[in-house]
Structure 1
């Protein structure tokens, strides 16, 4: 469980402070809301898978496969079973799960349990910090406020446009902004390490990217979840959702190994219902 995770209200204020215009805020903050939502969904799904795996190993259920049937019949029952199982392991982590759900409800004005389900996935070895994944999703793209060629303000004639050649720097600029504002290294890493399916030192050099030499890859499960969630939504104007296959084709432009890495991550964390999420947020699917 990560320490020193910022308060939800502090994160919201930081977006307002960083944004140069209302249009920039609406685009970037709304994207972060989507990614925080998907990150929570993936993290919660991971915890469900682990809880039911443990119950099955303890012979609390005759058949682990019955989990999917139970989930279909009563989502509320599944939630309670998961939380009871989690509290046996770590009561603080269970409380963080409750906090994440409460904050997400404020953010999207909907009971998170009514969101579309995630399918598939592999049970993790340990429970995921759902609040860390949620907060990381809200903060991951804070640096994109600092890579705008036209910032949507009156001085830019209201036009909003990213600085394409320097866009790759948004993760590092977000990392530095969070550190400068007193956020912990663990939290700042959400901004630094979410690009693509992870950038290695070798890829930075081979692609001649304008980044300091180093690995830009997730260091925790929660960071990896945010990185994965980020691939399902684009900040294009207008923003849109991406399917698993759409992003696979996008990843393949940087090599087949990149595409394979993406599909491994999908198998690991499961598939959110992109079309239903797009309907929920009022966006189109690519």
Structure 2
């Protein structure tokens, strides 16, 4: 470990330091809170499945109680670190402050730059490292785009990123990447159900949609209607 693991207070300070405006902070930080919340719900479900793994009959996952309403999912190979998912979820999108076209300082409504947006993961990673945050945490920003952005896709799509793999390297990072897909920082922000993101994933090819549906089967489905009601946001 070469850096520090930020506390919740330090995470908020990292957001406020880089946020160009209160409006930008409210949008990005709220999204990160939502993703962290979903991620922790999924971890609790996964850990409940793991704890009961020796007593589950075939197909018995549905018999395990579902903390926070997450349903389905497969027994994981180990217990997951909920605190790590919380920290990673709260910081995963911190690079999006760097890719606004209108960032709340020019009197225009918030709007992201379509061309630069793909860079937000890498920019977040670089920012966290520059602030002394440990690599293991900074990777949550780097490795959450889509359902796994690999070197081949970067080259094939001509993306403005250094050719490399930007994919989760552990289960905790994969949970945050998955949880991220259920909420969008659109104007206004919205929640996405499984079918809505399936349609979005399919726009990048059937292989992309297949990977998404594999994640759904692996980690289960959070209670998106309940979250949309809690945050008073629309849902598709």
TM-score of the aligned structures, taking structure 2 as reference length: 0.94
- Map of 2:86 onto structure 1: 134
- Map of 1:148 onto structure 2: 100
What is the deviation of 1:268? 0.2
- Map of 2:173 onto structure 1: 223
What is the deviation of 1:276? 1.2
| 1:115-134 matches, cutoff 5 A | 116-134=68-86
Structure-2 separation of matches of 1:242 and 1:42: 16
Classify the secondary structure of the residue corresponding to 2:97: helix
- Map of 1:110 onto structure 2: none
- Map of 2:35 onto structure 1: 35
Contact 2:42 2:220 in 1 (8 A): yes
Q: Structure 2 unaligned runs (5+)?
A: none
Closer/same/farther in 2, CA of residues 128 and 232 from structure 1, 3 Å limit: same
User: How many residues are matched?
Assistant: 234
- Map of 2:122 onto structure 1: 172
- Cα distance per residue 1:119-168 (max 9 Å; x no partner): 00001111000000111000000000000111102xx1153111110100
- Map of 2:65 onto structure 1: 71
| 1:46-85 matches, cutoff 5 A | 46-54=46-54, 56=55, 68=62, 71=65
Closer/same/farther in 2, CA of residues 50 and 148 from structure 1, 3 Å limit: same
- Map of 1:244 onto structure 2: 194
Classify the secondary structure of the residue corresponding to 2:52: helix
Classify the secondary structure of the residue corresponding to 1:149: strand
Contact 1:231 1:242 in 2 (8 A): yes
Contact 2:61 2:72 in 1 (8 A): no
- Map of 2:230 onto structure 1: 280
Structure-1 separation of matches of 2:147 and 2:60: 33
> What do you get for the CA RMSD once the two structures are aligned?
1.8
Structure-2 separation of matches of 1:70 and 1:50: 10
Contact 1:32 1:139 in 2 (8 A): yes
Which has the larger share of helix?
A: 1
- Cα distance per residue 1:205-244 (max 9 Å; x no partner): 1110000010010001000000000000000010000010
Q: Structure 1 unaligned runs (5+)?
A: 58-62, 73-112
Contact 2:62 2:71 in 1 (8 A): no
The answer as to 2:146 corresponding to 1:160 is no
What is the deviation of 1:281? 1.2
Contact 2:39 2:86 in 1 (8 A): yes
Closer/same/farther in 2, CA of residues 159 and 66 from structure 1, 3 Å limit: closer
TM-score of the aligned structures, taking structure 1 as reference length: 0.78
Structure-2 separation of matches of 1:12 and 1:52: 36
